[in-house]
Amino acid sequence: MSVQYRQKTETNFLYPYQLDAVNQLKNGCILCGAVGSGKSRTALFWYFKENGGWIDKDGYSPMRSPKDLYIITTAKKRDSKEWLGELVPFLLYPGDDGKTRFGNKIVVDSWNNIGKYVDAEDSYFLLDEQRLVSYGAWTKSFLTIAKSNKWILLSGTPGDSYVEYLPVFLGNGFFKNKTEFNREHVIFSRYTKYPKIDRYVNTTRLDRLRDRILVNMDYTHDIVKHNEDIYCSYDIQQYKFVIRNRKNIYKENEPIQNAGEMCNVLRRIVNSDETRQIKLLEILESHPRAIIFYNYDYEREILLNLGYEYGTEIAEWNGHAHQPVPEGNKWVYICQYNSASEGWNCIRTNCVIFYSQNYSYKMMTQAAGRVDRLNTPYDELYYYYLKSRSGIDLAVSRALADKKKFNEGRFVGWNKSQVSYNVAKKENRQAA
């Protein structure tokens, strides 16, 4: 067993890598750790220590004049009260008035409501499941909060490009505004309709600033993970028909309008194949309790109506239903990526089945982490990826393997100018 994973520190409360992260954390940092590494407890310990408290093997030392704490997380995590459970060991569970026994206020709310707290001052903010990846309303509220409060962000996947760190750079005061960042470090493409970053300059400085705010948790895990690709068949004739004729077979052969629609039609042909359903049922013979992730509503209908073994309980979390994880011996938990890829965990199973792949590497990683937890009773985890050898599935797999987001337009090789050219060419040929 990994010593680092199993043994606690002298605090008898944190693992060594967690305590090391606490000692590195300061206002304006990003606490970066793999899914299941215990970022929540680490962040709370930092807040507790910042306010004069301490927990070790000899006892509990309460905070001195603690500041108010605001925890901004996902709606699912707020509703499940997961963060409130993390507060219990610190004796910080808030009462009906939102205040703890020490008199400080603790608020747990979702990112959708971050704007409600822009007037807070001299408080602490723990920003969970990092959502500051653009310059929208959430980022503007965050920047207002950052001026008058102490804060850290928690993230398993903090960013793949420099621009994704821009809100945190601004919150730390490294740049006055977005304009200054673009002027000093961004070269935009000259021949695009919308602003598109061509490359970055003076990246040595950007690397230095990023390293200054990133606190990585050196998380080692002794659990064995099995990742298995399960290949399924698909209707090749239908697939080729759509490629050649660019018609939507699910809309009475209407012409396909764009790359997104083209990919959706191809994926529906592939994902609806009966062999994929059979393969899933075969997996459940070995794993009677499983979490199943899917993308589209038609996949949900397939999954809800499969011939599961008698006595299998079915529950789901998506835009249609928010049901809890079943507790029996045989169950399937059907989850839509956008709704359920983060903000909750499950230690009642060690099996995740990806009925179809998501375009986003980050979302796939978050989804896999639902069962990869510090307190899981399992020594092995199983991940099954149902896919075909069709062009669309192989292209998505390549993008995910490169830790990139799948680009529909690049795969189809189809943009507006190409469509206009092809239409004009066809019309000229008919006129001749």
Average pLDDT estimate for 305-324: 93
CA distance 347 to 112: 28
The residue behind tokens 């070995």 is: 286
Q: At 293, list the tokens.
A: 């992730």
* Longest CA span, the chain: 92
Quote the pLDDT of residue 300. 96
Quote the pLDDT of residue 12. 60
Average pLDDT estimate for 258-285: 95
Residue 6 pLDDT > 60, yes or no? no
Residue 50 pLDDT > 70, yes or no? yes
Kindly give the pairing relationship between strand 351-354 and strand 380-388. parallel
Residue 133 pLDDT > 80, yes or no? no
Quote the pLDDT of residue 432. 44
Quote the pLDDT of residue 217. 87
Q: At 79, list the tokens.
A: 């509703």
Share of the chain above pLDDT 90, in %: 63
Helix (H, G, I), strand (E, B), or coil: what is residue 272? Answer: coil
CA distance 100 to 106: 7
Candidate from 172-181, 316-325, 409-418 with smallest mean pLDDT: 409-418
Quote the pLDDT of residue 392. 95
Residue 220 pLDDT > 80, yes or no? no
Quote the pLDDT of residue 428. 43
Q: Are 127 and 151 in contact (CB under 8 A)?
A: yes
Average pLDDT estimate for 389-396: 95
Q: At 195, list the tokens.
A: 């602003």
362 vs 107 pLDDT, higher one: 107
Residue 191 CB partners (closer than 8 Å, separation 6+): none
Q: Are 405 and 360 in contact (CB under 8 A)?
A: yes
Question: Does the pTM exceed 0.75?
Answer: no
Residue 315 CB partners (closer than 8 Å, separation 6+): 323, 324, 325, 326, 331, 332, 333, 334
pLDDT band at 417 (very low <50, low <70, confident <90, very high): very low
Q: Are 222 and 1 in contact (CB under 8 A)?
A: yes
Minimal CA–CA distance to 185: which of 195, 168, 200, 204?
200
Residue 24 pLDDT > 80, yes or no? yes
Quote the pLDDT of residue 235. 96
Candidate from 206-215, 272-281, 358-367, 418-427 with smallest mean pLDDT: 418-427
Residue 147 pLDDT > 50, yes or no? yes
- The sign one gets for the Cα dihedral 420, 422, 427, 429 is positive
Q: At 406, list the tokens.
A: 């799948």
Average pLDDT score over the chain: 87
CA distance 284 to 213: 44
CA distance 312 to 287: 12
Q: At 34, list the tokens.
A: 């793999």
Q: At 242, list the tokens.
A: 């759509």
Quote the pLDDT of residue 422. 45
Q: Are 107 and 116 in contact (CB under 8 A)?
A: no
Q: Are 368 and 35 in contact (CB under 8 A)?
A: yes
CA distance 383 to 371: 10
Helix (H, G, I), strand (E, B), or coil: what is residue 93? Answer: coil
Minimal CA–CA distance to 68: which of 85, 47, 41?
47
pLDDT band at 314 (very low <50, low <70, confident <90, very high): very high
DSSP 3-state helix, strand, coil percentages of the chain (rounded to 5)?
Answer: 40, 20, 40
pLDDT band at 96 (very low <50, low <70, confident <90, very high): confident
pLDDT digits (tens, 9 = 90+) for 356-386: 999 998 889 889 989 988 778 898 999 999 9
Kindly give the pairing relationship between strand 289-294 and strand 331-336. parallel
Task: List, in sequence order, the alpha helices (H) in 224-330.
Answer: 236-245, 259-271, 274-286, 297-304
The residue behind tokens 């068949």 is: 233
Tell me the range of 49-63, 178-192, 325-339 where mean pLDDT is highest. Answer: 325-339
Structural domains present in the chain: 3-216 (3.40.50.10810), 224-412 (3.40.50.300)
Residue 114 CB partners (closer than 8 Å, separation 6+): 72, 138, 141, 142, 145
The residue behind tokens 């490169």 is: 402
Quote the pLDDT of residue 426. 42
For the chain, the C-alpha Rg in angstroms (whole number) is 25
pLDDT digits (tens, 9 = 90+) for 223-250: 899 999 999 999 999 999 999 999 999 9
Quote the pLDDT of residue 10. 46
Cα dihedral value 321, 296, 287, 234, nearest 10? 160
Residue 197 pLDDT > 70, yes or no? yes
